[in-house]
Each structure stands twice: as structure tokens, then as C-alpha cells.
Amino acid sequence: MTYRTVNPYTNQVEHEYENTSDAAITAALTAAHARYQEWRADPDSLQMRKAVVTKLGELLRARRTALATIMTRDMGKLIGEAEGEVDLCAAFCDYYVAEADHFLAPQPIYTESGNAHLLKQALGVLVAVEPWNFPFYQIARVFIPNFLVGNPMLLKDASNCPTSAKAFCDLVAEAGAPEGSLTNLFASYDQISELIKHPLVAGVCLTGSARGGQAVASVAGAALKKSTLELGGNDAFLVLRDADLAKLKATIAPSRLYNAGQVCTSSKRYLVPAEMADQFTAMVKEVFEQVKMGDPLDRSTTLAPLSSKRAKEKLQSQVDRAIAGGATLVYGNQPVDLEGQFFMPTILTNITKDNPVYDEELFGPVAQIFTYQTEEEAIAMANDSAFGLGSTVFGADIAHARQVASQIEAGMTWINAGWASLPELPFGGVKQSGYGRELSEFGFTEFVNQHLVYEAE
Ligand code: NAP
């Protein structure tokens, strides 16, 4: 059995699911394609889809804690953070229902030789491959816009959060989405490859690791299917000399410990002026010492377990390799006396360019602190990464902070704040962090046919 909920706080197997058969996948594809054709032939069907998304938002809000609990049991996140995730999904519903008509309106193009306009049309059935770290959010941010566009979706979610995937898809059906709109598949990698190659599939979006992205995008590329990839990050958090220290301290926990540090845009590398290094390191240590590990369903817990035994083992091996490679352990990396998959918040310094983890993503509560002499050097360090997802610049002079932000090779930069995700803000990266954007109008139109219609004079 591949798809299982193993509660990372108790290590108990709570649910197991049979893999979806080839015949069921074919039936799901057939239903999805029929839906695409029906919606494409009926422009008024957008009103039905808007009503479904409105209802979905209502159901999410009405069942906030029950739904959040499913995610917590699947992958261990704190219940309050899981509730926040449900709220954010409901906000996606509001935003896209309000904007769908505008985003799908034909767009006139000025030309001297005739009349031209762009029709915004659905592309067809999409495959979505999604990770476990935000079990609802990741599905919502691709499903909601594409459903409104008229692209039905076949979902392959992470094998360690199947109960969340099932719950989300059940909720969409309960909100009134007709069969074929969103189908959850407990599918193997081979089944997903075959699906992507199928002529009735128009494209694939994946959020996950570079390894998963490479595998899925190469199948899509060979089949000439459009893909978008939202991959990992090794985000730099650049502290400028005029940073407001109180604000900075308040940003450390959300930027590194939220979701037990398992966020693609978590701040993973803190770049600090050399003369501020001791003060900053002490600040991070004070924040890390205050965490309370425990039951993620208990609202007094502030640091959740990692998502799985495998995730903990991977992080431990990276920290071990970092230290063996010359990094200094300043704090943490001690065993935690709890049976769940807990990892003690850890601070590493003196990570040199030849350290084996220098260009790796550490997916958990580990802060790497680097020092710099000049801002030029700091910007070069921020950019010295295979990844280019998010970044933070902390400084009181906003004009200067903006100037620094513009020099960072990343898809996103937050000034005087840790990472965030909002419906209207495009989310995505450059370099090995992937291509394409999710959320905002950019995310809405990734799988839209910008169909040019030109009328000669
Ligand atoms: P992963 O191993 O790549 O898994 C992500 C999804 O891809 C899962 O559903 C996985 O299925 C599937 N998958 C992997 N290889 C596949 C293949 N060859 N064929 C078909 N499906 C395949 O990623 P992860 O390590 O679980 O997720 C964490 C990563 O996601 C981190 O690197 C994080 O930074 C990144 N992430 C990025 C963003 C963003 O927006 N840029 C957001 C969140 C997370 P199984 O579970 O069955 O293996």
C-alpha cells in the first residue's frame, strides 16, 4: 500500500488507501475531457463554476477546524497553522470568483491594419502533482483558477497526505462541482507518466522537489505538453546594517520555524553584516530556545514534528554532513525526547562554499548564518545558489532595500517581512526553483489559450 496517513506525532498508521487502477484512471480522464468539451461549448458555464467556488469557500470556513485536523494528522503541522491554511484557501475562492470575469474577458489589441483581440480559452484536462507541506493550499492554488478557466484536473497528491487530498476533492464535489472537475488519483509514477503522455491531457503542473520536477517535466517535454514547476528554494534573508532589530527578531520564528521549517520559501540562509553576527546569532538562539515541541493538535505547542520519519532522517543526514564538512554547530541538533518525528531547532555557522550542504535545501528548522563585509558581497552570496525562489531584505531605508531586492536573482523578495502567500501575489521562482507562476492573474492564465482573432480591414 503506497498511500498512507502515518501520523508523525504518534507514528501510527491512521489510513491506508488502495492504488487507483488503470481502468479508473482512464474513466477519470474520459469524464474530465467530456467536462472540458461541455464547458468550452457553453460560455455560461462559468456562472456555475463561480457558484461552486463560492460554495467551496463557505464549506471551508464552516468546517475550518475539522479540515485542519485532517491535515495535522496527515503531516503533523500545528493545528493553528492548518486552520490558517484553510482560511487562505477560502480567500483564494473569494479572490478568483471576484476576478474570473475580468481575467477571462477578451482583450482588444491595437493594430493599425485591422481589429484584433485575444480570447481567453481553456486548454483542456490538466494533471496536477502536488506535495505534502501544505496539503490543501497546494491543491487549491492550482484547482480553483483552472476550474474557473474551464480546465478539469486530475490530481496526484503526495503519498503521505492522502486523507487531505481525498477530503479536499470530496469537498469540491460537495460544493457542486460535476463529475470530472477534480479527480483524486492514488496513482503510481508510471501511471502519471502515461497520463501526461495521453493525447487528451493538455498540461501538467507540479510543486515539489527538483528531482520530481525533472522527472515530470521531461515526460511533459517529450510529449510537447505545457508544464509549470514550483520547486525548492534556498532562500536568503539579507540583513542590512540599518535593520530594525525588534522587527527582525519578531520575524525569525515565522521565517524559519513556520510549518516546522518545511516551506519552500522559508528563510534558509541568513546573511548578516560581520559586526552584527554575534548579536544576530544570540537573537536566533533566544527564539529557538523558546519553542515548545509537542502534540500539534494542542494549541500551546509552537513547533510541530517533521512530516515523516524519512523527512527527519534526510534532514539529520544533511546536518551531520554539514558539521562533518566543517560547519560550526552553535545550537540544537540534540535528540528530542518525544516519539514523534521532532527535530530540535538548530543553528549552523561557518558553512563554507566547499561544504556539502552549501547548495542544498535544508527542509526543517535549521538556520544557516553567514556573514558579509560589503553589501555587494552579500548580494553575490544571496545569488550563489542553484535555486532562485524567494528572499528577504531587511533594512529601514526602503528605497535602498528595494535597490538591493532588485539585484537578487529570485522570483520573489519580501522587504522587512518573512515569506508570505496571498491570492493576488504571483508565486514562483527562477533557476532550479522552477518556471511559471501560481496565484494572481499570472497563475490564472498559465493554462489559458491566449487565442488571437484578427479581422482584416
Ligand atoms: P517530491 O518528492 O518532488 O514530491 C512532490 C510530489 O511529486 C509528490 O506528489 C510526489 O509523489 C510526486 N512525484 C515525485 N516524483 C515523481 C515522479 N517521478 N512522477 C510522478 N510524481 C512524482 O517533493 P517533496 O520533497 O515531497 O516536497 C517538498 C519539496 O517541494 C521541497 O523541495 C519544497 O521546497 C518544494 N515546494 C515548492 C513549492 C513552491 O511553490 N515552489 C511549494 C511547496 C513545496 P510521492 O509523494 O508519491 O513521492
pLDDT for 204-262, tens place per residue? 999 999 999 999 999 999 999 999 999 999 999 999 999 999 999 999 999 999 999 99
CA dist 348 and 373 (Å) reads 19
55 and 203 belong to one structural domain: yes
Task: Return per-residue pLDDT of the chain as tens, 457 residues.
Answer: 589 999 999 999 999 999 999 999 999 999 999 999 999 999 999 999 999 999 999 999 999 999 999 999 999 999 999 999 999 999 999 999 999 999 999 999 999 888 999 999 999 999 999 999 999 999 999 999 999 999 999 999 999 999 999 999 999 999 999 999 999 999 999 999 999 999 999 999 999 999 999 999 999 999 999 999 999 999 999 999 999 999 999 999 999 999 999 999 999 999 999 999 999 999 999 999 999 999 999 999 999 999 999 999 999 999 999 999 999 999 999 999 999 999 999 999 999 999 999 999 999 999 999 999 999 999 999 999 999 999 999 999 999 999 999 999 999 999 999 999 999 999 999 999 999 999 999 999 999 999 999 999 8
| Residue-wise DSSP of 208-274 | S-HHHHHHHHHHHHHTT-EEEEE----EEEEE-TT--HHHHHHHHHHHHTGGGG--TTSEEEEEEEG
Atom 8 of ligand 1, residue of closest alpha carbon: 158
200 and 326 belong to one structural domain: no
Confidence (pLDDT) at 1 = 55
375 in active site: no
Q: Has residue 139 been placed in a domain?
A: yes
CATH number at residue 264: 3.40.309.10
Give the position, in ligand 1's atom list, of the atom nearest the Cα of 230: 41
283 and 227 belong to one structural domain: no
250 and 191 belong to one structural domain: no
346 and 251 belong to one structural domain: yes
219 and 276 belong to one structural domain: no
Q: Has residue 428 been placed in a domain?
A: no
How far apart are the CA of 83 and the centre of ligand 1, in A? 22
103 and 199 belong to one structural domain: yes
Q: Has residue 427 been placed in a domain?
A: no
Using most ligand atoms within 8 A of CB, pick from 19, 88, 133, 229 the residue to mutate for ligand 1: 133
Using most ligand atoms within 8 A of CB, pick from 129, 430, 431 the residue to mutate for ligand 1: 129
* 3-class DSSP state of 226: strand
Give the position, in ligand 1's atom list, of the atom nearest the Cα of 311: 25
Q: Has residue 274 been placed in a domain?
A: yes
179 and 248 belong to one structural domain: no
How far apart are the CA of 20 and the centre of ligand 1, in A? 19
Range of the domain at 109: 3-231+433-456
Q: Has residue 77 been placed in a domain?
A: yes
Confidence (pLDDT) at 114 = 85
Atom 21 of ligand 1, residue of closest alpha carbon: 189
Q: Has residue 330 been placed in a domain?
A: yes
Which of 85, 230, 438, 446 is catalytic? The answer is: 230
pLDDT in tens, 42-93: 999 999 999 999 999 999 999 999 999 999 999 999 999 999 999 999 999 9
CATH number at residue 155: 3.40.605.10
Give the position, in ligand 1's atom list, of the atom nearest the Cα of 215: 18
Using most ligand atoms within 8 A of CB, pick from 74, 189, 309 the residue to mutate for ligand 1: 189
- Which pTM value belongs to this model? 0.98
Strands (E), 21-180: 107-111, 114-122, 125-129, 153-156
Show the ligand 1 pocket: residues with CB < 6 angstroms: 129-133, 156-159, 189, 192, 207-209, 211-212, 215-216, 230-233, 264, 361, 363, 389, 427, 429, 433-434
CA dist 438 and 426 (Å) reads 6
Atom 26 of ligand 1, residue of closest alpha carbon: 131
250 and 344 belong to one structural domain: yes
Which of 89, 93, 169, 264 is catalytic? The answer is: 264
Confidence (pLDDT) at 457 = 80
CA dist 227 and 427 (Å) reads 15
285 and 190 belong to one structural domain: no
Q: Has residue 43 been placed in a domain?
A: yes
134 and 192 belong to one structural domain: yes
Give the position, in ligand 1's atom list, of the atom nearest the Cα of 265: 34
How far apart are the CA of 137 and the centre of ligand 1, in A? 14
Beta pairing, strands 434-435 & 226-230: antiparallel
CA dist 115 and 12 (Å) reads 64
Q: Has residue 188 been placed in a domain?
A: yes
Number of domains comprising the chain: 2
317 and 353 belong to one structural domain: yes
Confidence (pLDDT) at 362 = 98
205 in active site: no
